[in-house]
Structure 1
Amino acid sequence: MTIGLQILALTMGHVFSNAIRTLPAVAADVMSRDLGIGTETLALLTGAFPLAFALAMVPVGVALDRWGSRRTALVLLTIAGAGAVLAAVAPGPLTMLAAQSIIGIGCSGMMMAPMAFAARHVPAAAFGMWAGIVQATGNSGMLLSASPLAWLVEHQGWRAGFWACAGLAGLAFLAVALLVREAPPAGPPRRMLDDARAVLAFTVSRPLLSAMALAFVSFGVMLGLRGLWGGPWLMQVEGFSRIETGNLLLLAAAALVVGPFLAGLLARVTGRLVLLLAAGHLVAAG
Structure 2
Amino acid sequence: MLCRMTDPRSRWSMIAVFALLGAVTQVLWVTYAPVTDAAGRYYHVGDGAIGWLANVFPLLYVLLAIPAGIVLDRWFRGGLAAGAVLVAAGALIRLGGDGYAVALAGQLVVAVAQPLVLNAITAVAGRYLAERDRPTGIAIGSASTFAGLIIGFGLGTVFTDDLPTLLLVQAALAVVAALAVMAVLRTPAEHKVETPPAGLGALRVAWSDPFIRWLCALVFVPFGVFVTLSTYAQPLLEPAGVSEETAGLILIANVVAGVVGCAVVPIWANRRGRELPVLTTSLLVTTVACVTLALAPGVVTGFVALTLIGFGLLPALPIVLELTERRAGSSESTAAGLMWLTGNLGGLVVAAVVGVLVDDPTPAFLLLAVLSLLTLPLLRLFSRVSTSEPVPPRTP
TM-score bucket (shorter structure):
0.7 to 0.9
Task: Please list the CA deviations of residues 70-126 of structure 1 after superposition, one character each: whole Å capped at 9, or x if unmatched.
Answer: 432221121122222333446444444333221111121223324202113434444
Q: Which residue of 1 aligns with 2:61?
A: 53
Aligned-pair CA distance for 1:30: 2.1
* Match status 1:34 vs 2:36: no
1:37 aligns to what SS in structure 2? coil
**Structure 1 residues 249 and 118: alpha-carbon distance in aligned structure 2, compared to 1, 3 A threshold:** same
The answer as to whether partners of 1:128 and 1:265 remain within 8 angstroms in 2 is yes
TM-score, normalised to structure 2, is 0.60
Q: CA RMSD in A?
A: 3.2
* Match status 1:222 vs 2:219: no
Q: Following superposition of structure 1 onto structure 2, how do residues 243-254 of structure 1 map, counting pairs within 5 Å?
A: 247-254=249-256
**Structure 1 residues 222 and 96: alpha-carbon distance in aligned structure 2, compared to 1, 3 A threshold:** farther
Aligned-pair CA distance for 1:61: 1.6
The answer as to whether partners of 2:14 and 2:184 remain within 8 angstroms in 1 is yes
- For residues 229 and 179 of structure 1, what CA distance do their matches in structure 2 show? 40
**Structure 1 residues 223 and 202: alpha-carbon distance in aligned structure 2, compared to 1, 3 A threshold:** same
1:110 aligns to what SS in structure 2? helix
The answer as to whether partners of 2:73 and 2:202 remain within 8 angstroms in 1 is no
* Match status 1:146 vs 2:150: no
Aligned-pair CA distance for 1:260: 1.2
Aligned-pair CA distance for 1:12: 1.5
Q: Which residue of 1 aligns with 2:21?
A: 13
1:109 to 105, 116, 119: 116
2:39 aligns to what SS in structure 1? helix
The answer as to whether partners of 1:13 and 1:111 remain within 8 angstroms in 2 is no
TM-score, normalised to structure 1, is 0.80
- For residues 225 and 268 of structure 1, what CA distance do their matches in structure 2 show? 28
Q: Following superposition of structure 1 onto structure 2, how do residues 91-130 of structure 1 map, counting pairs within 5 Å?
A: 91-130=98-137
Moved over 6 A (4+): 231-235
**For residue 183 of structure 2, what is the amino acid of its counterpart?**
L
**Structure 1 residues 160 and 107: alpha-carbon distance in aligned structure 2, compared to 1, 3 A threshold:** farther
Aligned-pair CA distance for 1:6: 1.6
- For residues 147 and 285 of structure 2, what CA distance do their matches in structure 1 show? 21
Task: Using the aligned pairs only, state the percent identity.
Answer: 22
**Structure 1 residues 22 and 221: alpha-carbon distance in aligned structure 2, compared to 1, 3 A threshold:** farther
* Match status 1:156 vs 2:158: no
* Structure 1 residues not aligned, in runs of 5+: none
Q: Which one scores higher on RCO, CA 8 angstroms, separation ≥ 6? A: 1
1:175 to 176, 180, 199: 180
The answer as to whether partners of 1:146 and 1:249 remain within 8 angstroms in 2 is no
The answer as to whether partners of 1:26 and 1:246 remain within 8 angstroms in 2 is no
2:32 aligns to what SS in structure 1? helix
Q: Larger C-alpha radius of gyration, 1 or 2?
A: 2
* Structure 2 residues not aligned, in runs of 5+: 1-7, 290-396
Q: Following superposition of structure 1 onto structure 2, how do residues 268-283 of structure 1 map, counting pairs within 5 Å?
A: 268-283=270-285
- For residues 38 and 16 of structure 1, what CA distance do their matches in structure 2 show? 26
